[in-house]
Amino acid sequence: MEPIDDAAVTDATGFTAGAVHAGIKKDGQSLDLCILASDRPAVAAGVFTRNKVRAAPVKLSEERLRTGRCQAVVVNAGNANACTGEQGMADARRMTELAAAKLGIPASDVIVASTGVIGVHLPMEKIEAGIQKIHLSRTAGHDAARAIMTTDLVPKEAGCRVRLGSHTVTVAGMAKGSGMIHPNMATMLSFIVTDAAVHPSFLRRALHEAVDNSFNQMTVDGDTSTNDTLVVLANGAAGNPTLDDQSLDARRFRDALTSVAAELAQKVARDGEGATKFIEMRVEGAASDDDARRAAKAVVGSSLVKTAVYGADPNWGRVLCALGYSGADVDETKVDLRIGDVWLMRNGQIQQFDRQAGVDALKGPDVLIWCDLNLGSGRGVAWGCDLTEGYVEINGKYTT
Amino acid sequence: MEPIDDAAVTDATGFTAGAVHAGIKKDGQSLDLCILASDRPAVAAGVFTRNKVRAAPVKLSEERLRTGRCQAVVVNAGNANACTGEQGMADARRMTELAAAKLGIPASDVIVASTGVIGVHLPMEKIEAGIQKIHLSRTAGHDAARAIMTTDLVPKEAGCRVRLGSHTVTVAGMAKGSGMIHPNMATMLSFIVTDAAVHPSFLRRALHEAVDNSFNQMTVDGDTSTNDTLVVLANGAAGNPTLDDQSLDARRFRDALTSVAAELAQKVARDGEGATKFIEMRVEGAASDDDARRAAKAVVGSSLVKTAVYGADPNWGRVLCALGYSGADVDETKVDLRIGDVWLMRNGQIQQFDRQAGVDALKGPDVLIWCDLNLGSGRGVAWGCDLTEGYVEINGKYTT
């Protein structure tokens, strides 16, 4: 598996993108509307928010993906089209019709995603004019990644190439998200494309495995959005024999997909609203992998751990506390715990540590916390960010 | 039921308290060690944290309360005696022995609670000297409420008197808590006493009902502590016929207990770390009372709702989002939603509202959010506070 430098969704063969400033965002200049399209119908799979309040584009896209086929995605930022009732559903459908007309394909092969403020109707005239202005090309992948941003400071893109027999397959993706980030089955918005040829049911299973080890292990603020959407399109342009669970190369493809998804998820955590530090929590020795993932996610989700990391305060009892309420099996008399290279607990015994070394381990932009629960062989990792005055500042004034 | 102004735990007949500065807290002057005692053995019940990492005093006290009997509680602030292994258990037992010796009662009738930093051994010499200095009296109830504080800015006390036949019974309590507050079966620390005569099993059921409608509906930061403890002592000094589930007055006593617990829980939320506003979320029309409580608690627990309240930003979509991920049944096309007197949604339809009125509804120290899910007759309420730069400030520097 070979990572792609400066990856873009248009790195996969047969995919084009285009983005414009349609005037949905208030700043009057940012890109806020884009289309990502394949030159042929693609096998597709998606995972969507488990929030019971689901935005119109989530409902429509989930319905359309039941066919396992999709050719294009149209996305706007600045307005989530959530809690918008019948009008919202009609607007979401209209967005797919406008994109389909532009591309000369059926609207049933187009899905839609929206992100931004909840409870406001979409400005459809701006969207209609914007879609007409979009020009799709093989070089606009980075523009598309910018067009889906809201409070994000940086675009998030990742990609890799993997050899399957005599064919080289590309997997590339983009994601957005900075606040209201606590994905449950998907992140805020992410689109991954590949030119691999795959069976629909294989793609669905590979996607769920990738999500469980990437977006579902990442949190910014514990709020599961109404619009979480992760879609994978596989157009087969690489010409490889169609992959299924029995293929020799199935594992390589699944690992490539998981790797791209994990890189995107880490980039979202790193760009969490107000964040100054990225936190990685590794749990080993859990009773099961599920337990390990649950324990790791509780730690990166704890407001007290997040503020301690921000303040570079080695108040490690908060990590133990979060492990304890995670729902995972934990016996604190057996735990090993380390922050960076500083040992805090060994086999449940408090370790004397050099306080300054503990502070230093929390001072850099990347903080690693590691524990071994010494209960079994389960492993898991989760990613998050620190909680700062910046988060409060950004979110006290989002609609104003 | 008649509320008591300026209530203290010593308002119930037969209870005394005493507090000293033992030097466990770093500031060198605050009260940090206290004893609360009954003049006779009391019927007792308790609920404790569901965190799997449980402090030594939690383990010991839960074990001792299995008898349904207790006469005194010894409490320290400044050190949680959590994650402290065998030494921690020995220290907890020793605290009860020292208090028992002072009072001339068996150690098995004494329980213990601790709150403060996790992962540091108790300074037992200071505690031993401190317990010797404690003087118990009927007027030191307010001192005891101060001695259990950590980052709390104000002590939390509540009490009421209720007429049971020809007897007047007093229920009075105190609580502490400001951070690591997301109780699961109990709050950080709370002690409620009554001079009512009660059957042990009746008291246990009354306590669980009270907790479900008070401490379990309150959150500050989503972190369930290792030390949550709520204990009720009933010493029978009021001389009423012993209450059980069949008693005519059972409902009146349960309501009095719930009322004192709810007032204490609200006081904890109001004093949340860094908080400038108290938030009450009322949910009606839920499929069940459980659903209503769950939905209300998700809203007051949402970082995005908390920051929006802080910024007086009527970004009500965040309330809908939290209702949606709460786990309760929610159909956003049916919801009524109001902040203060400002209607935002009626029967799922977005309401045009005066933005300034929306801002004004969020500007005062008490914010009321109300929704009707229009699905059934379930009702519930939850309490929380806003999330501010102050919370980040306090928690970035707690052990330093």
Give pLDDT tens digits for A167-222: 999 999 998 887 777 765 445 788 899 999 999 999 999 999 998 888 888 877 77
Q: Identify whether B351 is part of a domain.
A: yes
d(CA B258, CA B239): 21
Considering only CB atoms, A223 lies closest to which of B302, B332, B394, namely B302
Q: Is B63 strand, coil or helix?
A: helix
Q: Are residues A259 and A295 in the same domain?
A: no
d(CA B341, CA B363): 13
Q: Is B323 strand, coil or helix?
A: helix
Q: Identify whether B24 is part of a domain.
A: yes
d(CA A265, CA A260): 9
Q: Are residues B307 and B236 in the same domain?
A: no
Considering only CB atoms, A310 lies closest to which of B179, B333, B396, namely B396
Q: Are residues B151 and B66 in the same domain?
A: yes
How far away is chain B from the Cα of A285, in angstroms, using its nearest Cα? Answer: 16
Contact B51, A325 (CB under 8 A): yes
Mean pLDDT of chain A: 91
What's the CATH code of the domain at B54?
3.60.70.12
Domain tally for chain B? 2
Q: Are residues A240 and A291 in the same domain?
A: no
Please answer yes or no on whether B304 and A396 come within 8 Å at the CB atom.
Answer: no
Burial A33-68 (b: 16+ CB within 10 A, else e): bbbbbbeebbbbbbbbbebbbbbbbbebbbebbeee
| Minimum CA–CA partner of A356 in chain B | B400
Q: Are residues A372 and A238 in the same domain?
A: no
Q: Which helix (H) or strand (E) holds A380?
A: strand A378-385
Please answer yes or no on whether B320 and A83 come within 8 Å at the CB atom.
Answer: yes
d(CA B202, CA A300): 41
Q: Are residues B178 and B283 in the same domain?
A: no
Q: Identify whether A186 is part of a domain.
A: yes
Mutate which of B48, B225, B332, B356 to test chain A, going by most A C-beta atoms within 10 A? Answer: B332
Q: Are residues B227 and B321 in the same domain?
A: no
Residues of chain B contacting A308 with CB distance shorter than 8 Å: 395-396, 398
What's this model's pTM, rounded to 2 decimal places?
0.83
Q: Is B115 a catalytic residue?
A: no
pLDDT grade, residue A118 (50/70/90)?
A: confident
Q: Identify whether B400 is part of a domain.
A: no
Q: Are residues B156 and B284 in the same domain?
A: no
User: What's the pLDDT score for residue A399?
Assistant: 59
Does B188 contact chain A (CB < 8 Å)? no
Residue B390 identity: G
Where does chain A have alpha helices with state H? 56-64, 85-103, 124-133, 141-147, 200-212, 250-270, 289-301, 303-310, 317-325, 355-361, 389-395
Contact A305, A371 (CB under 8 A): no
pLDDT grade, residue A27 (50/70/90)?
A: confident
User: What's the pLDDT score for residue A185?
Assistant: 44
- The tokens describing B381, both together, are 């309420």
Residue A22 identity: A
For strand B349-350 and strand A229-234, is the pairing parallel, antiparallel, or unpaired? unpaired
Largest CA distance in chain B: 68
User: What's the pLDDT score for residue A273?
Assistant: 86
Q: Are residues A64 and A37 in the same domain?
A: yes
Alpha carbon distance, N-terminus to C-terminus of chain B: 46
Q: Are residues A300 and A265 in the same domain?
A: no
pLDDT grade, residue B228 (50/70/90)?
A: confident
Q: What range defines the domain where residue B337 resides? A: 278-395
Contact B164, B170 (CB under 8 A): no
How far away is chain A from the Cα of B190, in angstroms, using its nearest Cα? Answer: 19
Domain end: A221, A241, A270, which one? A270
Does B241 contact chain A (CB < 8 Å)? no
The answer on pLDDT for B249 being more than 50 is: yes
pLDDT tens-digit map of B173-225: 998 887 777 765 445 788 899 999 999 999 999 999 998 888 888 877 777 77
Structure ipTM over 0.95, yes or no: no
The owner of tokens 């506070």 is B385
